[in-house]
Chains A and B, each alone.
Chain A
Amino acid sequence: MGSFHRILTLFKKDWMLEMRQQYAFYGILLYIASTIFVLYLAMGDTNYETWNALFWVTQLFVCINAVAKSFLQEGRGRMLYFYTISHPVEYVLAKIIYNVLLMTIMNTLNLFLYIAFMGDPTVNLLQFIGISYLGGIGLSLVFTMLAAIASKAMQQASLMAILGFPIIIPQLLLLIRLSKVAFAETFREGVVSQVVLLLVALDLGIVVLSVILFPFLWKD
């Protein structure tokens, strides 16, 4: 069995678990829906800056909830089993692919519900959608690695927020700033493409770091 095949199998296993125990998926879905509904009730009319800020904060918390589960659900025994049948790099790559896919779905739902409830203040919706996917993928990559780290410690869920927020805030600031381009704010020439390239490079860097560092977390 090639390593690509093994990654695919591990990915399929996560996917099938998700399909069978749908409580997690619907749990997050409900989380998104109720958050946005509360915001809708509380805010009424919003200007685009508030809309933007709220969108990214929701995105952040959805990501933490969706991704945290992926490592925390694996018990010790099951980790030991994976240890015997696969290589850590394959395992972490499968997790990354799965989390990115999960976050893409959540991102779509989040966007859809936001526009349905809170209206669409964007000038260029397509641009905003693109930026939101770029951001969602970046967030899920960072939190995959952080979930792996936090799963080794006690009080995992709260630790993940402590470990994650300082790391994610710069990236979130960049995203919030960048998404203002979709609200027809003017930027200096070249800045937008530079920031997009930077975020893509950062994402690639995170994947490389995860592949290098995860094997050290794996040995117990």
Chain B
Amino acid sequence: MNRSWWKILCVVLLIFTVIAGLLGPVPALRQLQETIRNLYFHVCMWFAMMILFTISVVHSIKYLRSLDLNRDIRAHQYASTGVFMGLLGYATGAIWASYTWADPNNPAYASFGSIVREPKLIGAAMALLIYAAYFVLRSSITDIDKKARVSAVYNIFAYAMLFPSIWIIPRLLPSLHPGQEGNPALNFNDIDARMRMVFYPAVLGWTLLGVWITTLKIRLSLLKEKKWLNA
């Protein structure tokens, strides 16, 4: 019970997010209408993804300091849950964009070109591609210790290269995406106070869910790799 308080918190927060997110008051903006509620789901996915990637990098750094394979397994699993959250972020974004960006008079592929050039989508695609490359790198090395070391180095290097550019590129290129000046939803004045009451709990709830999923996956892979770790 003592150790599962955060799992209970996660469930409570997510129930609150879904109920308040779908029923709560939102400002009636002419362009967005009710799609603004996607903030509680779509944006939270990206927040959760970034937080999970950050945890993964911290574990990679700890691995290089201690050479403890447990750390490597954690870094790997946090990265894979992060990618999963990123894919969900894309899915929720695509549904949203099909109601707000896409022109119903044109076929979907006609607006594809301009959507792909969105700087925020580029940033997100880079993040996912980097971690896809991370998994390819892991699978191409057979020796366990070498795999752990090389992939930890790549994880740290890629993270350090990726994040400055995710923060900078959106400020340089034109964009249709909400949150024009920089990073959406981080600016305190960007969102309505009523929405903030749901948004912050939602971020926490989804992130905790990501961590929860990851802890289960870590336990599973620890069981699988037991023979290596005890040796």
Binding site for B on A (CB under 8 A): 142, 145-146, 149, 152-155, 159, 162-163, 165-167, 169-171, 173-174, 177, 191, 195, 198, 202, 205-206, 209, 213, 216-217, 219-220
Contact = CB atoms under 8 A, between A and B. Distances in A.
7 contacts: A153-B137, A154-B141, A159-B137, A162-B136, A167-B158, A167-B161, A209-B156
Nearest to A173: B169
Given A142-B161, A177-B173, A195-B172, A149 B141 contact: no
Contact of B161 (A155, A159, A206, A216): A206
B12 interface: no
Interface stretch (B36-44, B146-154, B212-220): B146-154
Contacts of A149: 137, 150, 153-154, 157
A165 B126 CA distance: 9
A217 B161 CA distance: 18
Contact of A169 (B126, B137, B154, B172): B126
Contacts of A167: 126, 130, 157-158, 161-162
B176 interface: no
Given A166-B130, A166-B133, A173-B169, A213 B164 contact: no
B122 to A, nearest CB: 7
B136 A170 contact: no
B91 interface: no
Given A149-B153, A202-B164, A170 B123 contact: yes
B contact patch SS? helix
B133 A174 contact: no
A191 B168 CA distance: 12
B140 interface: yes
9 cross-chain pairs, A with B, having the tightest CB-CB distances, nearest first: A170-B165, A166-B129, A153-B140, A166-B130, A152-B150, A213-B153, A166-B126, A167-B161, A162-B133
B141 A163 contact: no
B118 to A, nearest CB: 12
B22 interface: no
B153 A216 contact: yes
Contacts, number: 89
Give the residue among A171, A173, A205 with the most B Cβ atoms within 10 A: A173
A contact patch SS? helix
Interface string B160-184: 1110111011001100000000000
Contacts of B149: 216-217, 219
Nearest to A165: B129
B158 A153 contact: no
B64 interface: yes
Contacts of B125: 166
Contacts of A198: 164, 168
A220 B149 CA distance: 10
A169 B153 CA distance: 20
B150 to A, nearest CB: 5
Given A167-B130, A169-B122, A213 B141 contact: no
B170 to A, nearest CB: 11
A191 B169 CA distance: 12
B148 to A, nearest CB: 10
A191 B172 CA distance: 9
Contacts of B162: 166-167, 170
Nearest to A150: B137
Contact of B160 (A154, A163, A170, A205): A205
Interface in B25-62: none
Given A153-B137, A163-B137, A170 B126 contact: yes
A206 B156 CA distance: 11
A173 B171 CA distance: 12
Contacts of A217: 149-150, 153
A145 B156 CA distance: 12
Contacts of A205: 160, 164
A213 B157 contact: yes
A189 to B, nearest CB: 14
A155 B140 CA distance: 8
